[in-house]
Amino acid sequence: MSKLKVMVLGATGVVGQRLVSLLAEHPWFEITALAASAKSAGATYGESIAGKWHTPHIPSRIADFRLRDCVPGEDVRIVFSALDADVAGPIEEEFAGAGYIVCSNARNHRLRPLVPLLVPEVNPDHSALLKDQKYGEGGIVTNPNCAVSGIALALAPLHRCFGIKRVAVTTMQSLSGAGYPGVPALDLLANIVPYIEGEEDKIERETKKILGTQKKASAIRMSAQCARVGTAVGHLVMAAVEFQRPVSLEDAQAAMTEFRPLAGAGLPSAPAVPLHLSGNPFRPQPVLDANRENGMAVTIGRLRYDSAFGLRFTLLVNNLIRGAAGGAVLNAELLMTRGLLT
């Protein structure tokens, strides 16, 4: 079976590099073009990413690609977008209008009613919205904000089984979530910055859209506080959850442990177990747990009874893989199995 041709927009950034790395070895997809902002265009991909922090391994075949401009015209079916939000909006629309399926990591279109905001284990049926879009054969699907990717996944089985009323989350987000060059070292040296512009609103809105129906966001009341901390990869989240009715710890544990909605679906990037519950109270930790199941699984720690709210737990999500590049690839795999790429 021949592979489906794909392209990556914004290929040189921290997320773009991971997208290229994941797609370079993908069993279903084949990268045939890479694009970036005009200032990189014309250089080879390898030259463009050299020296930009911690670049993943890129096969030389792909490192030799010349970077294109971000304009339609390539013979590909899927366009993965890791563009910055300040340019992603119109470029992604232009590609969709030209008949491409855009799998975007950018925030620009996530909250539009007809744009699926997908976590394949949670709301795969939202993908059907793609057909209602105005772009003909093209369309846009999105994956959520890096922190939301883990939060929505962790809340989904609890909400499905018991009905969530309110959630308070506090996030401790890694430096790579701010891209490269990102945060100045002086600001985070032995320090924490207790604010990330726009992040809390994204967490509150996106989580509700994902946990809702195709037509309507969930009525869960979400409250988020976000801090930037001096870790490299992996967003740590502490969550307090209030339910519509009392929930026992055992039932909550069972709901999370048994949550394997993609079992048997055959998506190559899907983790075998999306939520790993750790019994060690000192886990999860960014350094130790970010790469669980190649960065696609979320680790849950200290799930416990809370007399004030109901339940509390800690979660860790790999913000570059599950929360960005891997999420976009998993979305494309979902579209593939649902026949939405034909």
294 binds its own copies (CB under 8 A): no
The span from the CA of 115 to the CA of 53, in Å, is 33
* Angle, alpha carbons 94-100-105 (nearest 5°): 75
Residue from 186, 246, 250, 342 in contact with its own copies (CB under 8 A): 186
3-class SS of residue 102: strand
Which residues make Cβ contacts (< 8 Å) with residue 227, sequence separation at least 6? 170, 171, 172, 173, 192, 193, 194, 195, 196
Q: How far is the CB of 229 from its own copies (least distance, A)?
A: 6
Tell me the window of 99-107, 110-118, 215-223, 324-332 that interacts with its own copies (CB under 8 A).
215-223
CB nearer to its own copies: pick between 3 and 221: 221
Interaction between residue 277 and its own copies (CB under 8 A)? no
Query: Active site residue: 109, 159, 235, 276, which one?
Result: 235
Minimal distance in Å, beta carbon 93 to its own copies? 31
Q: Does the annotation mark 235 as catalytic?
A: yes
Give me the catalytic one of 146, 159, 226, 276. Answer: 146
d(CA 196, CA 235): 13
CB of 309 to its own copies, least distance (A): 5
Q: 144-183 mask for its own copies (x: CB under 8 A)? A: ----------------------xxx-x-x--xx---xxxx
Strands 139-142 and 235-243: unpaired
- How far apart CA 227 and CA 194 sit, in angstroms, is 4
Residue 146 annotated to the active site: yes
Instruction: Look at phi and psi of residue 255 and say left if phi exceeds 0, alpha if psi is from -120 to 50, else beta.
Output: alpha
The secondary element (H helix, E strand) that includes residue 317 is strand 310-317
Binding site for its own copies (CB under 8 A): 50-51, 53-54, 166-168, 170, 172, 175-176, 180-195, 197, 221-223, 225, 227, 229-232, 236, 238, 240, 280-288, 301-302, 306-309, 312, 314
The catalytic residues are: 146, 235
